[in-house]
């Protein structure tokens, strides 16, 4: 083999959780190797199938016995760009106030809006960077970040620019979602229609024009926006060629999951109150169910999403942190996976699918989420004996190293 034809990196003596659908749990291959060239995987299979001696195949070879390699984790639902925090609200909830009561009294999302509006772009980046780094330190290689704490054109724009800048600073892929319909800003009290019009007709087209929007999201809820308002936004997004997703049925059933399915949406997220009919609609549309156990945990929710129905109808389930200052200050996707097992009874394999291949689907990405030739070389190498350990350990640092598009992640 000529030098030019050699792969860049080859990891040998590892276990691979390919997450391919080949019948084996986790698509697992023991005593395996994975090699890549530039940003693409060229080999992911048993050591015995390597087409030559490792050092003849690749420039850099590492033997890592006792490790498992998974696709890099994908956090498909976060609100990690925001100003300030809501620790006081946490204390109020512990004293008995509910999330909805705090929101209706002018706290909740709106208090993060105040702090976010007050922060300049660099300050917002400074505050958000450690949160993104925490996710990466626990194996994340792609993450989604929503706007929704600006709720005015300039502040929403600033949030999305910070999301993009985080990706550049950290060398990872950040997918952005525009969440202008997150809460009604106080200055629009009594003028809901004007705010919805501002979001649909001014903010969305101009932010999309600046290529700051990969998808469009909304909070369809009693303390958020109605079915009809959400529909108006989705019509606009569809006209602009942007995919949609939705915070649906977290606190009540407003029919959001069926609505986003009707638009062929990427995902419906939360879903504690989702009805059987909506599950069927999601299955027919291929809309992913994104489970957010961090919010369920922090709000002491008692009604889990209908996981059995998702399984029965073949709805793909993803798991995400929902990292946000109010309902889910959760800085580890691996911990979200563990919570999905303990609180929602996912199997550890379902949880890992939920943070890899199904999370990629929830973002409309087909080039990552499994370990296979042709896929992006996004991988996480774990110091674990058994893959269930990824969900089993609560906290701790199991990550040995991670790679994004073939490059080693340095934090």
- Residues contributing to the site for Fe ion (CB under 5 A): 322
In whole angstroms, how close is the CB of 251 to ligand NIG at the nearest point? 8
- Binding residues for ligand NIG (CB under 6 A): 79, 108-109, 112, 219, 247, 250, 295, 322, 324-328
Minimum CB distance to ligand NIG smaller for 108 or for 348: 108
Q: How many residues does the chain have?
A: 411
**Phi, psi for residue 54 in degrees, rounded to 5:** -50, -50
Cα 340 to Cα 346: distance, rounded to the nearest angstrom: 6
In whole angstroms, how close is the CB of 325 to ligand NIG at the nearest point? 5
Supply 372's token pair: 């296979």
In whole angstroms, how close is the CB of 267 to ligand NIG at the nearest point? 12
Are the C-beta atoms of 185 and 113 separated by less than 8 Å?
Answer: yes
The residue number with the shortest CB distance to Fe ion is 322
Are the C-beta atoms of 251 and 222 separated by less than 8 Å?
Answer: yes
Cα 185 to Cα 106: distance, rounded to the nearest angstrom: 10
**Phi, psi for residue 138 in degrees, rounded to 5:** -110, 25
Minimum CB distance to Fe ion smaller for 359 or for 371: 359
In whole angstroms, how close is the CB of 159 to Fe ion at the nearest point? 14
Q: Which one of Fe ion, ligand NIG, none interacts with residue 112, CB within 5 to 8 A by kind?
A: ligand NIG
Q: Which one of Fe ion, ligand NIG, none interacts with residue 142, CB within 5 to 8 A by kind?
A: none
Strands 73-75 and 68-71, how do they pair?
A: unpaired
**Integer CA distances (angstroms), 69 to 14, 140, 339, 400, in order:** 7, 13, 22, 10
Minimum CB distance to Fe ion smaller for 138 or for 322: 322
Cα 26 to Cα 47: distance, rounded to the nearest angstrom: 18
Q: Which one of ligand NIG, Fe ion, none interacts with residue 327, CB within 5 to 8 A by kind?
A: ligand NIG
In whole angstroms, how close is the CB of 247 to Fe ion at the nearest point? 5
Nearest to 218 by CA among 256, 264, 192: 256
Helices (H) and strands (E) in the chain, counts: 17, 16
Minimum CB distance to Fe ion smaller for 301 or for 322: 322
| Sign of the dihedral defined by the CA atoms of residues 197, 203, 206, 207, in that order | negative
The residue number with the shortest CB distance to ligand NIG is 326
Minimum CB distance to ligand NIG smaller for 116 or for 370: 116
Minimum CB distance to Fe ion smaller for 12 or for 282: 282
Q: Which one of ligand NIG, Fe ion, none interacts with residue 326, CB within 5 to 8 A by kind?
A: ligand NIG
Minimum CB distance to ligand NIG smaller for 112 or for 375: 112
Supply 269's token pair: 């997220």
Q: Which one of Fe ion, ligand NIG, none interacts with residue 287, CB within 5 to 8 A by kind?
A: none
In whole angstroms, how close is the CB of 182 to ligand NIG at the nearest point? 6
Alpha helix stretches (DSSP H) within 213-356: 227-239, 256-262, 276-285, 293-298, 307-313, 333-344, 348-354
A 10 A CB-CB count for 174 gives 23
Cα 383 to Cα 362: distance, rounded to the nearest angstrom: 28
Minimum CB distance to ligand NIG smaller for 112 or for 127: 112
In whole angstroms, how close is the CB of 215 to ligand NIG at the nearest point? 15
In whole angstroms, how close is the CB of 319 to ligand NIG at the nearest point? 14
A 10 A CB-CB count for 291 gives 33
Minimum CB distance to Fe ion smaller for 249 or for 322: 322
In whole angstroms, how close is the CB of 118 to ligand NIG at the nearest point? 16
In whole angstroms, how close is the CB of 149 to Fe ion at the nearest point? 11
Are the C-beta atoms of 157 and 212 separated by less than 8 Å?
Answer: yes
Supply 248's token pair: 């649906």
Cα 146 to Cα 210: distance, rounded to the nearest angstrom: 16
Q: Which one of ligand NIG, Fe ion, none interacts with residue 70, CB within 5 to 8 A by kind?
A: none
Q: Which one of Fe ion, ligand NIG, none interacts with residue 67, CB within 5 to 8 A by kind?
A: none
Minimum CB distance to Fe ion smaller for 78 or for 142: 78
Are the C-beta atoms of 299 and 270 separated by less than 8 Å?
Answer: no
């Amino acid at each position: 083999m000529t030098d030019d034809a050699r792969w860049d990196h080859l990891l040998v003596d590892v276990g691979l959780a390919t997450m391919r659908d080949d019948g084996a749990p986790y698509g697992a291959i023991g005593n395996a190797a994975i090699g890549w060239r530039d940003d693409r995987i060229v080999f992911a299979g048993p050591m015995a199938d390597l087409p030559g001696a490792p050092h003849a195949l690749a420039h850099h070879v590492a033997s890592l016995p006792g490790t498992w390699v998974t696709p890099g984790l994908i956090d498909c639902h976060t609100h990690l760009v925001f100003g300030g925090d809501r620790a006081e609200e946490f204390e109020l909830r512990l004293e008995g106030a509910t999330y909805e009561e705090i929101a209706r009294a002018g706290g909740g999302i709106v208090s993060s809006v105040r702090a976010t509006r007050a922060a300049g772009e660099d300050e917002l980046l400074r505050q958000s960077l450690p949160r993104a780094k925490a996710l990466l330190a626990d194996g994340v290689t792609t993450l989604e970040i929503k706007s929704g704490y600006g709720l005015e054109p300039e502040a929403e724009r600033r949030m999305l620019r910070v999301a993009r800048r985080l990706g550049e600073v950290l060398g990872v892929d950040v997918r952005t979602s525009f969440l202008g319909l997150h809460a009604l800003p106080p200055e629009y009290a009594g003028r809901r229609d004007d705010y919805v019009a501002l979001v649909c007709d001014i903010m969305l087209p101009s932010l999309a024009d600046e290529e700051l929007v990969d998808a469009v999201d909304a909070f369809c809820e009693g303390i958020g926006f109605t079915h009809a308002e959400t529909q108006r936004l989705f019509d606009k997004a569809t006209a602009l060629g942007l995919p949609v997703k939705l915070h649906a049925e977290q606190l009540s059933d407003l029919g959001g999951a069926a609505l986003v399915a009707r638009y062929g949406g990427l995902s419906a997220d939360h879903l504690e109150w989702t009805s059987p009919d909506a599950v069927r609609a999601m299955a027919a549309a291929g809309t992913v169910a994104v489970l957010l156990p961090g919010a369920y945990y922090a709000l002491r929710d008692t009604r889990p999403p209908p996981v059995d129905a998702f399984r029965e109808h073949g709805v793909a389930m993803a798991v995400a942190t929902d990292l946000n200052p109010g309902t889910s200050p959760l800085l580890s996707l691996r911990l979200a996976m563990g919570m999905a097992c303990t609180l929602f009874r996912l199997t550890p394999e379902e949880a890992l699918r939920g943070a890899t291949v199904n999370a990629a689907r929830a973002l409309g990405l087909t080039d990552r989420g499994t370990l296979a030739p042709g896929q992006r070389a996004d991988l996480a190498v774990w110091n674990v004996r058994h893959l269930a350990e990824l969900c089993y350990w609560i906290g701790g640092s199991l990550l040995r190293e991670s790679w994004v598009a073939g490059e080693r992640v340095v934090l």
